[in-house]
Amino acid sequence: MATSTTTQLPGTVQIAAPNLRGFDTDTVINAEQAAAFITAGYSFCIRYLSLSNGQSTNDLSFNEASVILNAGLALSAVQHVLNPGWVPSTSLGTTYGTNAATNAASISLPQGMNLWCDLEGVATGTSAQQVIDYCNAWYNSVAAAGYVPGIYVGANCILTGSQLYEDLSFQHYWKSLSNVPEIPNRGYQMIQTLGSPVSGVSIDNDATQNDQKGGAVIWLKV
């Protein structure tokens, strides 16, 4: 079981400026690598929360978060997704959303910042309503814990742009490097593109922008 810690991470919850370059990775970042990313012109890092209740060894820890923040990188967190072909449901959304928030709290990520739901790889033939119910249940669990839910729109998300905007509770959208729908009336706050390894770390690149309603990513930064 994940347990909360009273130790506080450096930094404060801040609204991201547009046109910043960052990266997401499934690799644990050490101090030397974090410094290399700063030197290479990166401004932020996105790391992972576990699907289960309790962070795994390869996912974001308090110590790694401290290293990232103290190096000068802003920090955001996204939860893993099941292998392609998974089937969403309301109960699964509630479970994973609760775990995302619990795991974030266990490593001292403060309330008020974005936690991202990874929506991709949904089983072919899944109804749009199943996906909508999953996403909104995830949203409700994360929001109830004091975090601000965001959604990463990836390949095989099932939903159309209109459904993503009109039927989901989210106000923060992150566009994957895959061919995915645009979000009408709002757009995306973060755009992912292919990246090349830095200091031996495999990454995807990400860039911030304000959406059409003036919304932006909310992260932790020193």
| pLDDT beneath 70, residues of the chain | 1-6
The per-residue pLDDT for 7 is: 85
Beta-bridged to residue 49, according to DSSP, are 79
For residue range 42-63, list pLDDT tens digits in order: 999 999 999 999 999 999 999 9
* Nearest residue to 152 (alpha-carbon basis) of 177, 185, 128: 177
The alpha carbon of residue 161 and the mean position of all alpha carbons in its chain are separated, in whole angstroms, by: 19
Give, as one character, the DSSP assignment of residue 10.
S
Phi, psi of 150 (to 5 degrees): -130, 165
pTM: 0.96
Q: Strands of the chain (E only): list them.
A: 12-15, 21-24, 44-49, 74-79, 114-119, 148-153, 173-175, 190-194, 204-208, 218-221
Answer whether 93's CB lies under 8 Å from 136's CB: yes
CA distance 86 to 103: 22
Structure tokens at 65: 């978060």
Residue with tokens 């949904």: 122
Structure tokens at 111: 């309330």
